[in-house]
A = this chain, B = another copy of it.
Amino acid sequence: MQKTVAELAALVGGRVVGDGTRVITGVAAVTEATETQAAFLLDEYMAALGQVQAGVVLVEHEPEDTAGKTLIVTDNPKWAFASLVRVFVPPVQAPAGIHPTAAVDATATVDESASVGPYAVIGPRSRVGARAVLQAHTVLGADVSVGADTTVYAGAILHDRTEIGERVIIRSHAVIGGEGFGFATMSGKHERVPQIGRVVIGDDVEIGAGTTIDNATFGETSIGRGTKIDNLVHLGHNVHVGEDCFIIAQVGVAGSTTIGNHVVLAGQTGVSGHITIADHVTCGGKTGVIGSIKESGTYVGFPARPHRQWGRIEGVLNHLPDLLKRVRRLEKSLLKENE
């Protein structure tokens, strides 16, 4: 695959600075790219432009000194670069059709353009949409629907009644729609409350490897369109996540909590159940959210505090042993005085 710099600029809606006829055949990290490859460089690193060897560099602004490099100026070089990666490294197409070893229930419906891999299992009345891909060893229970252009990676499991939108990516060993953790306790013994709801995943969602999203007691556990969820995340029954969120690795959200749109929960954050997190809230890694957050902003620590407040407290904590000594000294002084 080869494209000229001018063609690539047109593709990403950017402006050429330098030689638009140069031929590009691939992409690479900016520290590694050679003269036939494209790379990107954000504003804060532009000082290093002179050392870059890439055939074309995607940048945010045209610098005074281009160091003789060929550039494509674009508002969002990283986003544009993602587009170029897809041009030069197209994803492998899975062959349409159902592998002979796949066990597909007679009442299930699989679009003829979909791809179902070795040892996949599809349960009663489930539906697989156009160009969807179920890799080897994926398992769909009963009454599951998988939307068009969705990819389910090897070993992922979608339990009964799960509804998956279009262009969704579900990675290996994710478990979607398993029974929520619901019990009634009588005389110290825990009796299971059957969870008869389901999970609904919106379009363009990504769900990471090993992530578990439980079905609802009744109704739905839902993930809004465009939200991206990382590996080993746990979302409990009746959780509702909004659109375009980032839920990073190993986050846990307890049942019946509602998360707004454009929320970012950094790695290992934990969120209590039955609370609400407003739109545009960001939590730093390992944050412990134990009460509703109503204002957008950044929160850190356990319990979660607005990040400036957390920073101030942490700053004083470093001096705490010394503070104790200073208070003792004050007490001694005052005692002396009062003698």
A contact set with B: CB distance below 8 Å: 27-29, 32, 76, 78-83, 85-86, 89, 91-92, 99, 101, 103, 117-119, 121, 135-137, 139, 141-142, 153-155, 157, 159-160, 169, 171-173, 175, 178-179, 181, 183-186, 188-194, 196, 206, 208-210, 212, 214, 217-219, 226, 228, 230-232, 234, 236, 244, 246, 248-250, 252, 254, 262, 267-268, 270, 272, 285-286, 288, 290, 301-303, 309, 312-321, 323-324, 326-327, 330-331, 333-334, 337-338
Contacts and interface: CB of A to CB of B under 8 A. Distances in A.
A232 B209 CA distance: 11
Contacts of A189: 226, 244
Contact of A157 (B29, B173, B309, B323): B173
A228 B103 contact: no
The winner among A91, A190, A192 for most chain B CB atoms within 10 A is A190
Contacts of A169: 192
B286 A270 contact: yes
Given A117-B121, A188-B262, 12 more contacts: A28-B218, A78-B193, A157-B172, A181-B228, A190-B244, A190-B246, A208-B212, A210-B212, A250-B270, A267-B270, A268-B270, A337-B337
A209 B188 CA distance: 24
Given A173-B173, A268-B270, A190 B82 contact: no
Nearest to A216: B29
A327 B324 CA distance: 10
Given A188-B244, A252-B267, A312 B302 contact: no
A339 to B, nearest CB: 13
Nearest to A214: B231
Nearest to A30: B218
B302 A248 contact: no
A219 B28 CA distance: 9
A231 B178 contact: yes
Contacts of A139: 135-137, 154-155, 172
Contacts of A137: 119, 121, 137, 139, 155
Contact of A208 (B79, B159, B181): B181
A28 B169 CA distance: 32
A314 to B, nearest CB: 7
A103 B81 contact: no
A53 B136 CA distance: 47
17 contacts: A81-B184, A82-B184, A82-B192, A85-B194, A137-B139, A173-B173, A188-B262, A189-B244, A190-B244, A190-B246, A192-B206, A212-B232, A232-B232, A234-B249, A319-B324, A320-B320, A327-B327
